[in-house]
Chain A
């Protein structure tokens, strides 16, 4: 209860994704993947999580990279926040991802925590789930037998729960190229203690030549059990010139998908989170439009 000592567990450091998948299958759900560990290890040390085995992905070569191509960005799941925030390729192709990575916790965490780890953990207050939702990413996952691709829209399912099956390893995050005249932003109200998002909003907005909103993806984290797209907000934006008034009206619907599912804790009541979802949606949209 009060120890900082983990219960005993097996530790594996496989050298390939296939080996990691085999180990996952062997433990039949009793193993956890270690992909930086800044969310998992505190739970293990407090014995709030007591996995039978930890499978450390850090020794697998070729899971940490950023590649830019015609189809957009491909980022290895084990790429650290620091590598993302400092990557010129990311800054150019998906600046919001670099911005958001730079807002995660502190330098030590950013040197160890990974993009894949953050997405697979699906912390309700994690920053990057909202960002990859807004960017419309695709996620590649492997099992011992093969691989499949999951749209990020279908990935986050519930509190700490994703579409990943117990025997699957997330290997790559693919971000489609941003169209011309696209602005992006991620803003958050940070928890003073943990620096997690009390509420965080990511916005990716594309305008046509006439300044009319051609596409918009907006996602909210921190507010509910998992990051969600604010589809009603998006619908209000698309097809309109984005005046301050339109942005305001759209932002007011940013919590619609969360409904009565707003989180409430000692740091922020559900009512406050709902109000801040609107404030930060407005700020994210204003900033994104300003960057088009």
Chain B
């Protein structure tokens, strides 16, 4: 099929304005009479608020008002949870505990960064100065930051509603793991720590709120992935009528999942603007962002894999403590359950899976989705354990994977966790990756390098993930509190220009380009004639937003539906005016032709004009040319692929360097290869970051030790090699575009590939596992420990041999 735009690396139309500084981010919004808000945040991880004294602060220059949690208690409500695990769902043991989450704390603070008061002043500097003068008298309480220790009997308790700090117990049982383990010839056990990460979007969060006393309208500019849900939840929490709330997501400078929630600051800023009847701005600082914006991951897992000596895997079992932080963020309960536990089948046919997850509260920043959200945690376990199983059998990790792959399928395949994959061909990306990487030659190079002080290792990750959030009914049965469909409107203007209104909300993914490519393809008009609008609840129909690599699979399909409706109407108009039945009219190259009579045609612009001048429309047809669609897919999509990492470890220092990276992804059909490559590249960097250098560290007292980029190592260009990427194409049957979603695959695949490579480099020393991140000291200690153990073993053998000889004498 030849296409005009789909499958082409069209340059991103949003880039010229962004790279020339013409984008409007929240901090660029400046309103007349605007005030600035600074939040007073708790310096303690767990404390009772005894008294807040604002008298010094209120006298500070420029201060207009100060609000404490108690002042606004009746107005701010409690932050809602949008994913509720209920006993009625087969996976959940009891209704999850959802303790109140006041936007401004008023009785207790539960993590360092919990907001206790808001200071509003004439400029941001004076607001910050005054915030430092708010005196809060705290009574310190015991602190727990470890998600497993939090469940122990003597741990400090965060919420009276959640005994043992446990929010939920959730499980999956497919087949009979215990039975399989009993019969298995080999069982490998390993504890894994999937460390806490800080999302680090380039733009921190920010909110501007304006209140119109005449119309009772609150307008909120916020750096978010979900403007429509923010409006809905804001109205629900504050009681301000939904039709009088407008939420605008202007340019959003990245999010990685961290802007997918209703945040306290959105409510606080909005309601203070309403109270003062003046515009109010709050912009998060970077250190503040480290404390107040959600974190990701933070699992402690006990894993087991079992199978036979011929390499057949028969089962997998995991018990996971998922640290949720101090309160439930909007989607927190869904991440370590549905998006984690249900992914534990991987691309394999083992019939027995057992998974138990404890969601726990600790005195830390709330944890929610971060690029990959649950799937990186699951993939890390599956791919690390499959490797550990192969190593235990001294079998090749690729051969063991191939032996256990699900066979290819085009339309649905149920797996042990109970979910239905859409389409898969798991050998294809492995074959392609091994065409790009000479495995045999590498093994030789690896052996030869030993003794030179540089240890080489290769790691594989044959991942699968879940995208295209929706279908709503399935998601609802698993706990989703809102529908997960997506919407579009296509408005063809009288001049033939087109505006696409999408319910998705991009924050760096290039939707304006990709969706315009789809629209241009369908309408046969140039992309310059199409504008894609998003992120304003007053402009767009209700939509869900951008997360879970869903925008093209769900949002793109909603767009195709509207485009089809528009084309159908145009076809009917053209057929009517050319005097033939509509079924005989074909649309090609921007023209409506009568089938077999090519010279009889009407071009796109003419038909549009006819729709608007309405002089000669088919009987009963409404004038105008616009269509709106809402799409709810029947299944999720399941991208997969094979990533190969090659690392080099310095034996003397423990430094681990990523030398080479091969990524073959199967994300179904591709709209814009360049944009997909960009997402794959960035995704891999974040997965590599987790494997080698990122990690949030809390002190015993609950202070975030990695409180800035001086201590939290975000990967940079010098930490990653030039990637070698390729794709195989297994179209998804669940949407007409055949797409699967590409936003998170790189991150999901990369961490286990890199860790498997590192263990491969160290395995000859007897090292079987290391936890992420691979700080140089971690590796250095492991190497030294392994060498000392070998030496001790050798001398023990020698001693035994000597004493044996003596005995014989």
Contact = CB atoms under 8 A, between A and B. Distances in A.
Contact of A272 (B709, B710, B780): B780
Given A189-B655, A192-B719, A266 B132 contact: no
A2 B653 contact: no
A269 B776 CA distance: 11
Given A4-B286, A266-B705, A194 B777 contact: no
Given A1-B43, A2-B292, A8-B125, A276 B653 contact: yes
A3 interface: yes
A279 B783 CA distance: 15
B775 A5 contact: no
Interface in A189-203: 189, 191-194
A267 interface: yes
B288 A4 contact: yes
Interface in A137-157: none
Contacts of B709: 193-194
Tell which of B41, B129, B719 has the most Cβ of chain A within 10 Å.
B129
Interface string A44-69: 00110000000000000000000000
Contacts of A25: none
Contacts of B285: 2-5
B710 A266 contact: no
Nearest to A283: B652
B495 interface: no
Q: Is the interface of A mostly helix, strand, loop or mixed?
A: loop
A197 to B, nearest CB: 13
Contact of A2 (B287, B692, B710, B713): B287
A193 B655 contact: no
Interface in A254-277: 266-269, 272, 275-276
Contacts of B124: 5
A267 B711 CA distance: 8
A189 B776 contact: yes
A2 B113 contact: yes
A193 B712 contact: yes
Contacts of A4: 285-288
Contacts of B113: 2
Interface in B644-681: 652-653, 655
Contacts of B781: 272
A279 B652 contact: yes
Nearest to B39: A2
Interface in B96-143: 113, 124-125, 128-129, 131-132
Given A192-B719, A268-B777, A5 B706 contact: no
Contacts of A3: 38, 128, 131-132, 285, 287-288
Interface string A4-30: 111110000000000000000000000
Nearest to B692: A192
A122 to B, nearest CB: 17
A194 B713 CA distance: 7
A194 B711 contact: yes
A193 B710 contact: yes
Contacts of A189: 653, 655, 776
Interface residues of A, number: 25
A276 B776 CA distance: 10
Given A2-B288, A3-B38, A5-B124, A192 B777 contact: no
A282 to B, nearest CB: 9
Interface in A162-199: 189, 191-194
Interface in B761-793: 775-777, 780-781
A5 B127 CA distance: 10
A251 to B, nearest CB: 11
Nearest to A189: B653
Contacts of A191: 713
B198 to A, nearest CB: 11
Nearest to A278: B652
B128 A5 contact: yes
Contacts of A8: 125, 129
B693 interface: yes
Given A2-B113, A5-B285, A192-B713, A267 B775 contact: yes
B291 interface: yes
A46 B43 CA distance: 14
Contacts of B712: 193
B586 interface: no
Nearest to B773: A192
Given A2-B292, A4-B288, A267-B711, A275 B706 contact: no
B4 interface: no
A183 B623 CA distance: 85
A1 B41 contact: yes
B711 A193 contact: yes
B578 interface: no
B516 to A, nearest CB: 35
B651 to A, nearest CB: 10
B436 interface: no
B637 to A, nearest CB: 35
A2 B653 CA distance: 35
Nearest to B61: A8
Interface string B275-298: 000000000011110011000000
Nearest to A279: B652
Contacts of B38: 3, 5
B41 A2 contact: yes
Interface string A102-137: 000010000000000000000000000000000000
Interface string B290-327: 01100000000000000000000000000000000000
Contacts of B719: 192
B413 to A, nearest CB: 41
B780 A275 contact: yes
B582 interface: no
Tell which of A5, A6, A7, A272 has the most Cβ of chain B within 10 Å.
A5
A5 B287 CA distance: 11
Tell which of A7, A106, A193, A269 has the most Cβ of chain B within 10 Å.
A193
B287 A192 contact: no
Contacts of A7: 129, 132
B710 A194 contact: yes
B97 to A, nearest CB: 29
A2 B38 CA distance: 10
Sort A-B residue pairs by CB-CB distance and give the 9 closest, nearest first: A4-B285, A193-B713, A5-B128, A192-B713, A2-B288, A3-B128, A192-B693, A272-B777, A194-B710
25 contacts: A3-B287, A3-B288, A4-B286, A4-B287, A5-B129, A7-B129, A42-B708, A46-B287, A47-B132, A106-B716, A189-B653, A189-B776, A192-B713, A192-B775, A193-B706, A193-B709, A193-B711, A193-B713, A194-B709, A266-B697, A266-B705, A267-B775, A268-B777, A275-B780, A279-B652
Given A2-B291, A189-B655, A193-B713, 7 more contacts: A2-B287, A2-B288, A3-B288, A189-B776, A192-B719, A266-B706, A267-B777
